[in-house]
Every structure is written in C-alpha cells, then in structure tokens.
C-alpha cells in the first residue's frame, strides 16, 4: 500500500493542498464545531447571545415522543427502501452478468435512475400515485377511496419509499454488476463441472462471494436514506399527511429553518452525524477485514 | 569514462539494516552484474547508485564526483526498470525522447537522435505506437533505447529481463552484451538468475543478506568460491558440500561414520569443523576395487541427455556426480566414486569462508579459471 | 456461456425485461403525460401513448417556472462545481500521494473525514457559515488579540465579511468542499507504479513536470468519471440551493423549480405541464450519464476499493 517513490519539497505540497484544506476548514470543520456549540447552548429568543445548556437540548429531544416517532419512521423508511432497491438491483445484476445476447442494452438502461434528481423522480411518482390521476388512481374508479396518499399516512409513506427504492436501483446495480464481473470465470466453470446449474451457482457461489459488496451497499443505502430523502419528501408530501412521512432530515430542516429552533436542530444534527459516522465506521471495519481475507 | 566507487555504503530502513557496508570499485567501461537471491539488497544497492534511495552511510562516487547529495537527474545514469516503466500515454518516440525533451533539447535534434537510437535497436517501424500495442520484447527494447538515447555515463539495469520468456531472454542477453561492446559504457546489472549473470558479466558481485560475499570474474567465482554461500549458490547442479572434520589419520569423517581418505589436505586442518566441496562434474565413477574409492548407494538418477546426474548416498551424505556411462542404474545399486584432492574446496564451518589449501589446489583452480 | 440452458435463458430475458419495464415506467409516464393535453392527462385511466402537445407543454412549463435563467444558473453551478472539484482534488491528491512530508496522513484524514458526513446531515451548521464565510478567520483574529492589536496600531477595526447568500460562490463552494474527488484521484494515483515515478526522475523531470506530463494525461479516464459524477450530483442538488438562495428569481436552479410546477391542491390539475417541465429538468444529467456511461461506471467503482 505504501509507496516507495516520493518527492520531497518543503513548500510545494502545502501549496497544492491549501485550496482544498481551506475549503474543508471553512465549510466543514468550522460549521461542525459550531453545531456542537449550539447543541450545548440555548439561544435567547430576543438575541443577546447563547447561554450554556449542557445536555438539556439533547434531553428535551430524547424526551419528545414526536422525535422518537420520527426516528422509528426513519428506520422503517431506510430498511424498506434499502431492501427493495438492493433486491431489485441484485436480481438484475445477476441476470445481466450472464451476458446473454443483447444484455448491453438492458445494462445501460438499468443505470439511468442514478442520473435523476430525487425531486424530479418525486414529481413523476407523485403523478403516478396521484389519487385523482389515471394510473394508480384508476383503482379508485373501481373501489372509490381505496387509494389516497394525500390523506392516508401509510399510502404516503409507501409511495415515498417506492420512489426512493427506484432511485437507488442504478447505483446499486453498477456496484453489484462490477462485483460479479470481478469474480473469476473459472469459478463458475468449476461449479458447472461439479454439476451445479446456473441458478445454483448464483446462490452457492456468486452470492456468498459478493457478500462484501452487499454489505458496502447496505451501509451506503442506509446513509443515502438519511440524505436523499429530503428532496423526495419535500416535493411529494412535505412530511404529511400529519407527519406520516416526516423523517429525521426533514424534521431537522423544519425545526431549524421553519421553526428557527437552532439549538434543537443543532442537537438533531449531532445525533444524525453520530449515526452516519457510526455506520461509516462499521463499514470501514468490514472493508479492512475483506482486505485481509483477500 | 567513468568508474563507480562505493565505500562503506550502508542502507537502513527505519532501524533495519538492508545493506551492511559495501566497498567495491566498478572500473570504467566494465560490465558488472550484482547477483544474489531475492531480498539480498542488490536492487537497493543499484537504486542507491541511481539516486532513487538515500544512502544511510558511506559514499558513492561516479567518476570523481561524490553523488550522495545529487538528484537522480544530476548523476548521469540511465536506468532500465524491471517492469520497463514506460509512459503508457506516450508513443514509442515520445518515450525514448522524453529525457531529451526535459533537458530542453531542440525538437529537430531530438527527433534525429530518437530515430537513430530506435533504428539501432530495430524499433523504427513502431515509433508512433503506444507501449500497450507492443510485445514484451519490443517494450524491453523501448526501455533500452530510452536509456541509450541520453548517452549516459552509466547504464543501470534492474532485473530487466525477468518478465520475458526464456527464449527472448537469451536473445536480449546477447543484445545487451553487443550493446555494451559497442558503446563501452560502464554498466551495472542486477539479477537473481545466475546463467544471466555468468554470461553477461565482466565481473560479478555476489550479495547475500546485505553483505558482499565475493567480487570476481565469473570463472573465478565458479572455480574459487570465497564462501560456503557462493559455493552453494553458483552452479547447477549445485556443488557437493559435505560437512565433517579431518582426523589425524588423514581421513575426512562425515555423515554416519563415513570416511574419505585425503592424505595431503588433512594434516593442516586436523579436528576443524569444516565443509568440503566438490563440483559434481569432478566426481568420477570408478571400479569397485579402486584405491580410496568412496562406496555409495544410488538414490536416483536424472537424465540430462548429454550426461546423467547420479544422486548417491555415501554413509548418510549426499553426493551428486555427473556421469557419462550408459549402464542401467537403479535405486539401491552400489557404486564407487572418486575425487581428486586438488579439486577440493574447504570452507570453515565457523566463518563460512574459504580455507586456502596447498599449491596443488591453487594450480588446478588457476588453470580452470584461465581456461 | 458455460452450458446451454434454454429454460434459464428464458427466465433471464423475462427478468431483464421486467426490470426494464420497472426502470422505464417513470420515464415513460413523464414523456406520455408531458405530451398530452390537459384533457387527455386528466383521463382515468390514463392513455399510455404519447400525444402531440409536448412542445407547447414545455413552452408553458418554461414560462411558468422561468426555466430559461434557471437553466443557466444550474449550468453555472454544475460546471463550476465540476471544474472546481476536478482541479482542487487533483492537486490535493497529488500532494497526498506523491509527497513525503510529516503531516501527510493528517491532511489525508482531514479531507477524508468529510466523506462521512454528506451536506444534508450537517445542513444547519453549514448554513450558519453562509452569512459570513470569513467568520472563522475573524474569530481566529479576535481570539488571538490580533484584531485589537491592529486597531490600536492603525485605528482601523478589521472586520472580515463575505456573504455567500444569493451568490454563485455560495452555491458552488460548499459543494466543492468534500472529499469525493480527492479520494477518487487518490485511489487512482496509488495504482501508478513506483517505477514510473522513478523513471521520470531518471529522465530529469521534477514533481510539477511529472504532474502535468505524466500524471494528468494518465488520469484522463478518471477525470471524465469524476466530471460525470460531479455534474450529476451538483445539477441534482436540492436542499442546499433552497437554503442559500432567498432571491430565487436571480439565483434559483431548475431543480428548485420542480415544486413550483406541481398543480396546487385545488388548482387546475395540469400535470401535463408539470411532467413536461420535469422532463427537461431531468434531461441534462441523464444525457451526461448515458453518453459517459463507460467512464463513469469505472470511476464510481474504483471509489469502493
């Protein structure tokens, strides 16, 4: 891993690094430390500086049942969207990997959702699921009132999750396919010699061997369900009906920028950051193990 | 012309010594091969000459200049790397001419030089190709042309043929040799392949575990190895080395009670722990009743075509003999072997160094070295 | 293929076609609805075949959401972020991989950690910097007493101020300040064999020459990949532009306008206009991905390892 051939120069590397380091300090480290400061202080409503609040911001956050409802909803959202998206992408990648005639066409289309802005997909799916419009809404013609995400929380959450899962197909597909294609061909051939049929080889050989990629994507998907969900929810439901689709990032935004409760939002920010960092660390440990394994 | 002088050269990585102190002078115009097993520090030594590694201790001088503090580009060396290190995005011509471009040579002059060098190694039809479109041998030639075009004071080769197949390797060897004859540039060549080393070198530097074991002409190294390591490392099949000690009765004792009668060698070495060595081609098969014959049992034989190798067991010690007989030899058959005292090498078991014997031995080895 | 298995081949095609339908449905619906008239689009069930009103719907959407200037803004932001990232990341990765200096690993981690926390997660703190990006430096000066020292000496109080609200710099810089690019370059630079560096040293070139004449030409594919990834992700940004631009008329981007295109609760349900608008908004990044697929897939993958 370590290189042997280096340049040595006392100034040049710093000149090269300076722009990036300055940007990172100004837009990352400074604000993040600010958030820590706010999370432990309380801002006076009429100005006049912040007073030290200790863990009060966190305590009031954790004492809030609405916050816990948001956490639970976020977890459900994350798991559901991840499982659906990865399941579809994995299935498609497995079949594309067989490289039958014409596969290239399928392969390039399966990547497309990666290019789409979450809010743009949100608009399309909102129309698809609109109760008054002629697609899913058509069931209301047969059984009036059976589908209405504008009033039914479950419907709304389901609609957002489906859209989120669709958006993730492209990214997941790329990684799954790459992982599958990196497996040596001789492995499948050995399996065939041992009498395993294609679907057996998928389950017994390919799937276990791409387990590290499955895990990597699992974490990436969970993280993206915290981040990409904002645009989707803002366009599709604005958190409604009656908070049924309010996930952590959305609540953070509402409290911080609509409710102007900076201290509370900062505390929520810290919780979210810790969560994301924890997930990333788990992933790093795994990647490390994988390197040793290889 | 340029000699290279290494004095007390040491290299440590962190605290680990890799090269323990090398004192060698490479004469101007000489072709020197550094030979040793992997990890012996030979490449490190070469890279220190090139300026790609710092010198922890000691000095390296190229010509009259101590180069310890000089950048690679200031040392006047050109190098051929193991993996060629061609710039994949540049054409053959650009690869060859890059150093000239860096040094600011005008385009016309540069192109003329590149063309001349490319012609000399037969690359002129490929000048516009990228390295990726060339065969292994062609890439090797580009790497050499790139070194030649600069007309350097010193050529350095870091295992340049290790990625080529056997046949190509032989061809490239001849080409490098021819190149050196034509240009007469001081060259240092690192390899772990002894055939390559023996055929290329004016002189060999044999290294083991960061220490120079022996410096000498190939024939010298073969016929008068300076240490147990060299004796064992050089030659295929390897030299017979038998461990034991000399008794006062003129016999060498080894293995499970084996005795070899060596009346002229024994007296000076009584009861020292030594290894005696003899090249397999100097072990003779003799009839059973020959005086002082060593009785042995055949383990197995290897057919080489021109001759065969007999692997025999003499009282628990392995002896290999090159045999030109055609009789059937099977495992377990008794045979008798004889050796000439003048062909013997003796190494101290303590220091691993060669122990010089009498005049007869010296005369025998000298005649072989100069043959 | 290893053996012939017609049944499994059939299953393979069937699954892939199903996948194709799944992936294409939203695109198809967008195109179909975007090409229909208000009357057609309000039909239940919807006719799933395009009609002839696409151009006029696009014109209506274009005017309603003021997409002309917004497109230009989006383009400025996407191109700005992409170029900024490609240049800065190449420089910093070059320093981290090819130079040996004491703080090398520290710098690497300082940059690398930013990968962990996407902008959305730290949106509140990042927003705080928007009103004055130079605040950190002001604080430094204040804490170390330099401000008062200068005030005493010159009588002028130093106040550093740089408001990022409603500006292209505000839209662009925070998006450049992440490690994606640095990391991508680093992964690639690590695969450059040591011998290549050494050969160029032997040929007499220094670090800067090596960077421009060897490293950059070799990085072309990776730069294209990074460009694709960055273009798509910055074009698709939603939350940050929403916060940093209060002056939407002048600094809004197209993706922000999507919401304005959605029919109001009790207004005319002219989804045809909405979908036509959505179509042109999603088109630029889709074209970039479709055209650059080969390179960008390779780049995205190498980020993993």
Cα–Cα distance for residue pair C162/A267, rounded to 1 Å: 27
- CB neighbour burial string for B115-141, b if at least 16 within 10 angstroms, e if fewer: bebbebbebeebbeebbeebeebbbbb
Contacts of A120 in chain C (CB under 8 A): 236, 255, 258, 278, 281-282
Taking the CA of residue B129 and the nearest CA in chain C, the distance in Å comes to 16
Chains with 3 or more CB pairs closer than 8 angstroms to B? C
Contact: A114, C269; criterion CB under 8 Å: no
Measured CB to CB, residues of chain C less than 8 Å from chain B are: 193, 195-196, 198-205, 209, 213-214, 217-218, 220
Chains with 3 or more CB pairs closer than 8 angstroms to A? C
Q: What is the pLDDT of residue A49?
A: 63
Q: What is the pLDDT of residue A2?
A: 62
Q: Quick one: pLDDT band at residue A172, thresholds 50, 70, 90?
A: very high
Candidates C100, C188, C203, C212, partner chain B, best to mutate (most B CBs within 10 A): C203
Chains with 3 or more CB pairs closer than 8 angstroms to C? A, B
pLDDT surpasses 50 at B176: yes
- CB neighbour burial string for B14-40, b if at least 16 within 10 angstroms, e if fewer: eeebbbbbbebebeeebbbbbbbeeeb
In this complex, the residue of A92, A262, A276 whose CB is nearest that of residue C16 is A92
Distances (CA, A) of B197 to B49, B160, C57: 19, 12, 80
Cβ-proximal residues to B225 (8 Å cutoff; 6+ apart), any chain: B214, B231, B234, B239, B277, B345, B354
In this complex, the residue of C199, C202, C214 whose CB is nearest that of residue B77 is C202
Contacts of A4 in chain C (CB under 8 A): 194
Taking CA atoms, what residue in C is nearest to A238? C259
Taking CA atoms, what residue in A is nearest to C42? A133
pLDDT surpasses 60 at C290: yes
Q: What is the pLDDT of residue B91?
A: 92
Residue A225 phi, psi (nearest 5)? -70, -20
Give B64-91 as a DSSP string. Answer: TEE-TTS-GGGTTEEEE-TT----TTS-
Highest mean predicted confidence (pLDDT) among A142-146, A247-251, C141-145: A247-251
User: Which residue has better confidence, C46 or B182?
Assistant: B182
For range A177-202, the mean pLDDT: 75
Contacts of B79 in chain C (CB under 8 A): 198-199, 202
Q: In this structure, are strands B308-314 and B317-323 parallel, antiparallel, or unpaired?
A: antiparallel
pLDDT surpasses 60 at A131: yes
Cβ-proximal residues to B176 (8 Å cutoff; 6+ apart), any chain: B144, B157, B189, B200
End-to-end CA distance of chain B: 30
Contact: C202, B102; criterion CB under 8 Å: no
Q: Quick one: pLDDT band at residue A1, thresholds 50, 70, 90?
A: very low
Tokens of A75: 């977890």
Q: Quick one: pLDDT band at residue B6, thresholds 50, 70, 90?
A: very high
Contact: A134, C20; criterion CB under 8 Å: no
Domains and CATH numbers, chain A: 83-290 (1.10.3720.10)
Matching residue, tokens 């055929």: B199
CA angle B334, B338, B341 (to 5 degrees): 155
Q: What is the pLDDT of residue B356?
A: 86
Could you tell me the pTM of the whole model? 0.80
Q: What is the pLDDT of residue B65?
A: 92
Cα–Cα distance for residue pair C86/C92, rounded to 1 Å: 10
For range B277-306, the mean pLDDT: 91
How many Cβ pairs within 8 Å bridge chains A and C?
A: 318
ipTM: 0.85
For residues A215 and A196, is the Cβ–Cβ distance under 8 A? no
Distances (CA, A) of B80 to C78, C194, C203: 45, 14, 11
Highest mean predicted confidence (pLDDT) among A103-117, C153-167, C246-260: A103-117
User: Which residue has better confidence, B113 or B266?
Assistant: B113
> pLDDT (tens digit, 9 = 90+) per residue, B43-74?
999 999 998 888 999 999 999 999 998 888 88
For range B319-337, the mean pLDDT: 90
The dihedral region occupied by B250, where left means phi > 0, alpha psi between -120 and 50, and beta the remainder, is: left
Q: What is the pLDDT of residue B1?
A: 65
- CB neighbour burial string for B232-262, b if at least 16 within 10 angstroms, e if fewer: ebbbeeebbbbebbbeeebbbebeeebbbeb
pLDDT surpasses 50 at C102: yes
pLDDT surpasses 70 at C4: no
Element (H, E) at B337: strand B334-338
Tokens of B16: 């680990």
Contact: C100, A8; criterion CB under 8 Å: yes
Q: Quick one: pLDDT band at residue A252, thresholds 50, 70, 90?
A: confident
Taking the CA of residue C184 and the nearest CA in chain A, the distance in Å comes to 14
Q: Quick one: pLDDT band at residue A289, thresholds 50, 70, 90?
A: low
Q: What is the pLDDT of residue C303?
A: 41
Q: Quick one: pLDDT band at residue A291, thresholds 50, 70, 90?
A: very low
């Amino acid at each position: 891993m370590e290189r042997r051939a280096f340049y040595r120069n006392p100034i040049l590397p710093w000149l090269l690094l300076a722009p990036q380091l300055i940007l990172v300090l100004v837009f990352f480290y400074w604000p993040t430390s600010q958030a820590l400061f706010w999370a432990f202080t309380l801002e006076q409503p009429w100005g006049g500086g912040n007073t030290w609040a200790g863990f009060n911001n966190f305590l009031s956050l954790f004492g809030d049942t609405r916050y816990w409802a948001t956490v639970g909803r976020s977890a459900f959202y994350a798991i559901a969207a991840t499982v659906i998206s990865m399941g579809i992408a994995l299935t498609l990648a497995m079949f594309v990997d067989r490289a039958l005639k014409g596969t290239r066409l399928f392969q390039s289309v399966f990547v497309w959702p990666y290019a789409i802005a979450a809010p743009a997909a949100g608009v399309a799916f909102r129309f698809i699921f609109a109760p008054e419009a002629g697609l899913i809404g058509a069931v209301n013609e047969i059984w009036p009132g059976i589908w209405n995400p504008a009033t039914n929380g479950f419907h709304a959450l389901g609609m957002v999750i489906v859209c989120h899962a669709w958006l993730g197909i492209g990214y997941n597909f790329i990684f799954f396919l790459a992982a599958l294609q990196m497996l040596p061909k001789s492995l499948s051939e050995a399996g065939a010699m041992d009498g395993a049929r294609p679907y057996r080889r998928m389950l017994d050989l390919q799937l276990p061997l791409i387990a590290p990629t499955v895990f990597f994507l699992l974490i990436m998907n969970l993280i993206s369900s915290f981040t990409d969900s904002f645009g989707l929810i803002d366009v599709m439901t604005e958190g409604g009906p009656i908070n049924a689709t309010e996930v952590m990032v959305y609540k953070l935004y509402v409290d911080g920028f609509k409710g102007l409760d900076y201290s509370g939002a900062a505390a929520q920010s810290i919780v979210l950051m810790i969560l994301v960092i924890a997930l990333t660390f788990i992933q790093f440990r795994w990647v490390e193990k994988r390197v040793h394994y290889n | 012309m340029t000699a290279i002088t290494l004095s007390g050269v040491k290299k440590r990585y962190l605290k680990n010594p890799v090269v323990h102190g090398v004192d060698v002078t490479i004469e101007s115009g000489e072709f020197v091969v550094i030979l040793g097993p992997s990890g012996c520090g030979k490449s490190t030594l070469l890279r220190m000459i090139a300026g790609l590694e710092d010198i922890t201790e000691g000095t390296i001088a190229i010509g009259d200049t101590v180069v310890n503090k000089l950048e690679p580009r200031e040392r006047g060396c050109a190098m051929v790397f193991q993996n060629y290190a061609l710039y994949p995005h540049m054409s053959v011509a650009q690869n060859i001419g890059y150093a000239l471009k860096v040094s600011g040579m005008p385009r016309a002059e540069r192109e003329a030089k590149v063309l001349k060098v490319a012609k000399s190694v037969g690359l002129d039809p490929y000048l516009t190709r990228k390295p990726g479109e060339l065969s292994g041998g062609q890439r090797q030639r580009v790497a050499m042309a790139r070194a030649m075009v600069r007309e350097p004071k010193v050529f350095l080769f870091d295992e340049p043929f290790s990625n080529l197949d056997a046949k190509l390797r032989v061809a490239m060897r001849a080409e490098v040799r021819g190149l050196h004859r034509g240009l007469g540039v001081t060259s240092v060549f690192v390899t772990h392949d002894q055939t390559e080393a023996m055929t290329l070198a004016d002189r060999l530097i044999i290294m083991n575990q960061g220490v120079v074991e022996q410096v000498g002409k190939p024939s010298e190294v073969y016929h008068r190895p300076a240490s147990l390591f060299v004796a064992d490392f050089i030659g295929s099949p390897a030299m017979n080395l038998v461990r034991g000690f000399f008794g006062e009765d003129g016999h060498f004792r080894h293995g499970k009670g084996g005795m070899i009668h060596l009346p002229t060698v024994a007296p000076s070495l009584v009861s020292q722990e030594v290894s005696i060595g003899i090249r397999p081609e100097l072990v003779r098969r003799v009839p059973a009743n020959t005086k002082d014959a060593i009785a042995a049992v055949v383990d197995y034989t290897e057919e080489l075509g021109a001759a065969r190798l007999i692997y025999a067991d003499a009282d628990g010690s392995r002896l290999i003999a090159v045999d030109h007989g055609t009789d059937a030899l099977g495992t377990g058959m008794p045979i008798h072997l004889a050796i000439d005292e003048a062909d013997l090498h003796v190494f101290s078991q303590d220091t691993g160094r060669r122990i010089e014997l009498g005049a007869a031995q010296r005369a025998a080895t000298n005649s072989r070295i100069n043959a | 293929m290893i053996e012939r298995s017609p049944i499994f081949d059939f299953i393979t095609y069937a699954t892939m076609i199903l996948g194709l339908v799944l992936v294409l449905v939203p695109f198809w619906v967008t195109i179909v609805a975007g090409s229909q008239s208000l009357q057609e689009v309000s039909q239940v069930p919807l006719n799933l075949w395009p009609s002839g009103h696409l151009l006029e719907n696009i014109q209506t959407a274009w005017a309603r959401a003021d997409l002309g200037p917004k497109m230009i803004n989006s383009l400025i932001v996407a191109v700005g972020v992409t170029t900024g990232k490609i240049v800065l990341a190449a420089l910093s990765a070059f320093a981290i991989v090819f130079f040996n200096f004491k703080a090398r690993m520290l710098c690497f981690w300082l940059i690398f950690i930013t990968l962990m926390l996407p902008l959305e997660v730290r949106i509140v703190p990042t927003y705080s910097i928007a009103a004055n990006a130079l605040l950190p430096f002001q604080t430094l000066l204040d804490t170390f007493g330099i401000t008062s020292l200068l005030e005493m000496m010159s009588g002028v109080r130093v106040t550093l101020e740089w408001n990022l609200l409603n500006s292209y710099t505000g839209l662009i810089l925070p998006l450049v300040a992440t490690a994606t690019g640095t990391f991508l370059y680093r992964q690639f630079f690590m695969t450059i064999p040591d011998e290549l560096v050494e050969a160029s040293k032997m040929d007499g070139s220094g670090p800067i020459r090596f960077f421009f004449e060897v490293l950059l030409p070799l990085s072309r594919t990776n730069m294209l990949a990074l460009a694709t990834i960055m273009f798509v992700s910055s074009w698709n940004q939603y939350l940050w532009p929403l916060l940093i631009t209060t002056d939407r008329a002048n600094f809004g981007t197209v993706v922000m306008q999507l919401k304005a295109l959605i029919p109001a609760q009790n207004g005319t349900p002219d989804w045809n206009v909405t979908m036509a608008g959505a179509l042109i908004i999603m088109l630029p990044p889709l074209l970039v991905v479709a055209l650059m697929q080969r390179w960008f897939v390779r780049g995205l993958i190498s980020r993993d390892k």
